[in-house]
Chain A
Amino acid sequence: MCALIINTFREKIRNKTFYIVLIIGMVLMLLLTTNNSNLTINGRKVAGFEQMVPVALAIIGFIACLLAIMVSIQTIPNEFERKTTHLVLVRGIKPWQYMFALTSGNIAAGLFCILLLSFSLILFCAFYGKLYLIPSVFICSLLLGINSAFLCAAVSVLTIKLPAFIAGTGGVLIYAAGILHGILDALAATSEGFGATIVKTLLFFIPDFAAIQGQASAVLAGGPFDIQPVASGLLLIYLFLSLTFITFRKEV
């Protein structure tokens, strides 16, 4: 199973598009956060390290999640299309092990992408003369990795049963729901009826991406740290990963 995870991971990180998007994202983030631009949020000029940290993390979070969807969307459908599934299964590997390994490989590639993106965070810290924050950058990247790992797991599980295009759209919707989690949650809490129940149920299975990003920001810029969204995010990754034990395509 480890060999399968490593193979999937290697295949994913060989993809050139992966690096192109990564470099564009890094450059964009550095340009927006280190250039003395006229960046304003809610009509207020954003400047200085503490104010720029959430902006930098939001950009990195977005790029990482985009890459997570890109990385995961084709892995499992390609295996079925190439008929590699058959070759693997005849060697005594069980279907759940196979799906679990492919999903874990995707998660590893998603985390690798976050690791690469953390170099731009180091440059960002260096620009503001805060190189002593390098250890915090890694903790911060690991926290951001929760969002990206969850997306990898969710999209991978979706691709087992659904066509890649639908799974990709699902991934984007999950990302949007995760980022707007707090708002949607509060809106659902202020409403009654079937729609509100559906929204609450769906949100129960999606981590609060913004809250996790907020904790990453607290690690880097200093501030109160709340472990709850992080723990819930990890539990949801576990749950989605566990779904690979019971989900498999009939075609081999």
Chain B
Amino acid sequence: MKLFKTVYLTIGIVLSAFVLILGMAGLPSEDRELYGAAVELDKRASNDIWPGLNINDYPVAVRKGSSEYVITKNEIQKRKPALPVTACTAYPVNGEMNVFLPSKAELDSIGQIAEGMSSDPQYFFINRFSIESRKLSDTQYIAFLHHEALHAYQYEYFEKQLRGMEPACEESEIELLLEEADKDPVISSIDAKMTALLYMLSTDGAREGITEYLSARAALMDAYAAKLGQEKTDLIRRYVERTETVEGTARYVEFKTAEALNDKKLMQQYLTGLKEKAKGREKYYRSGMTLCLLLDRYDPGWKQQVFAGPASPAALLEKSAKGF
């Protein structure tokens, strides 16, 4: 019996030590490689994605379990998580903008965790889990890194301007308002028309289509005004324009990252997504991205104006369309 106890105890000690050592192994090599690939991509294609945007300008905090690994230009440091929860975001830590992202393995588990959770969790799950084979591709992860890095860039250089675009109430209140208003058949039919037009524009980008889309956009705001009154419509307009400016450009950066990496399948996935009727904030991520792609065609200098103005992608496109 003494032998049994000794052997049993030894097994326990060896197993515990093994698990402990594995737990201290640090940031998985997969995440280090993906960060390296993102930095390399910026070196050769930064201007194609977003001029001036470089991931290694910001510390990237990769969360794995209850630890956070901060990757800076030359080193990786482990620290206590700066945020109470796992999130994809950009946030200042000790006065410096940090890019926050879960590790690839964790992000694989539930898709894009923070984005899109605000309005409709049920839809979020169905949508995210329908992504082929559930796992994110390496390109997708690099694209998300660029998405969050763009937020860091926006808030480092244009915080004041972007704060000026904020609506005068909580975004969640406007989202509830929109959810209710979108049930209206008139609003819903204009919305469906805009979705179809956006998809069409993403593929051919014809000038007539742009004029038609902008008219539909104005008609939608009129329909909101008829249903909710001018004051609430102004709130909605600000919310939509701000989301398209802040998040639409970030989604555009994801698309451009896929393009720079020549991932045609992922690019197609972004474009095909435009066909589907999106709910909540996601709708404006997509419309914002499409507007940015159209601006690339008709107003090549738009990136210098969009945050500095601030001028929403829709406003810039409207300006360009006047010259058609």
Contact = CB atoms under 8 A, between A and B. Distances in A.
Q: Decide if A and B are genuine partners.
A: yes
Interface of A: 1, 41-44, 182-183, 185-187, 189-192, 227-228, 231-232, 234-235, 238, 242
Contact of A186 (B11, B23, B110, B130): B110
Interface stretch (B36-44, B83-91, B165-173, B284-292): B83-91
B72 to A, nearest CB: 23
A186 B15 contact: no
Contact of B86 (A44, A189, A238, A242): A189
Given A42-B130, A186-B109, A192 B15 contact: no
B22 A186 contact: no
Q: Taking each of B18, B65, B108, B109, which has the highest tally of chain A beta carbons within 10 Å of its own beta carbon?
A: B109
A190 B130 contact: no
7 shortest interchain CB distances as A-B pairs: A182-B109, A189-B86, A186-B109, A186-B110, A235-B15, A228-B22, A231-B19
Contacts of A44: 132-133
Given A43-B130, A44-B133, A186 B16 contact: no
B12 A242 contact: yes
Contacts of A235: 15-16, 18-19
B313 interface: no
A238 B9 CA distance: 10
B131 interface: yes
Contact of A231 (B11, B18, B102, B130): B18
A42 B16 contact: no
A185 B66 CA distance: 11
23 contacts: A42-B131, A42-B134, A44-B133, A182-B105, A186-B86, A186-B106, A186-B109, A186-B110, A189-B65, A189-B85, A190-B86, A190-B87, A190-B117, A228-B22, A228-B23, A231-B15, A231-B18, A231-B22, A235-B16, A235-B18, A235-B19, A238-B11, A242-B12
Given A42-B133, A186-B86, 8 more contacts: A42-B129, A42-B131, A182-B109, A187-B110, A189-B65, A190-B117, A228-B19, A228-B22
Contacts of B85: 189-192
B230 to A, nearest CB: 37
A238 B19 contact: no
Contact of A189 (B63, B105, B129, B131): B63
Q: Taking each of B16, B22, B102, which has the highest tally of chain A beta carbons within 10 Å of its own beta carbon?
A: B22
Contacts of A42: 129-134
Interface string B94-124: 0000000010011011100110010000000
Contact of B19 (A1, A186, A232): A232
Contacts of B131: 42
A187 B110 CA distance: 8
A243 to B, nearest CB: 13
B113 A186 contact: yes
Given A42-B129, A42-B133, A190 B113 contact: yes
B135 to A, nearest CB: 10
A234 B63 contact: no
B24 to A, nearest CB: 11
A227 B11 CA distance: 17
B150 to A, nearest CB: 21
Nearest to A94: B1
Nearest to A2: B4
A186 B85 CA distance: 10
Nearest to B106: A186
Contacts of A189: 63, 65, 85-86, 102, 106
A228 B18 CA distance: 9
A231 B18 CA distance: 7
Interface in B282-307: none
Contacts of A183: 109-110
A190 B132 CA distance: 23
Q: Taking each of A186, A191, A234, which has the highest tally of chain B beta carbons within 10 Å of its own beta carbon?
A: A186
B166 to A, nearest CB: 24
A34 to B, nearest CB: 21
Contacts of A238: 11-12, 15
Nearest to B107: A186
Interface string B125-143: 0000111111000000000
A41 B129 CA distance: 10
B114 A190 contact: yes
Contacts of B114: 190
A125 B201 CA distance: 49
Nearest to B111: A186
A135 B117 CA distance: 45
A234 B11 CA distance: 10
Contacts of A43: 130, 132
Contacts of B102: 186, 189
Interface string B48-63: 0000000000000001
A194 B129 CA distance: 27
Contacts of A227: 22
Contacts of B130: 42-43
A185 B15 contact: no
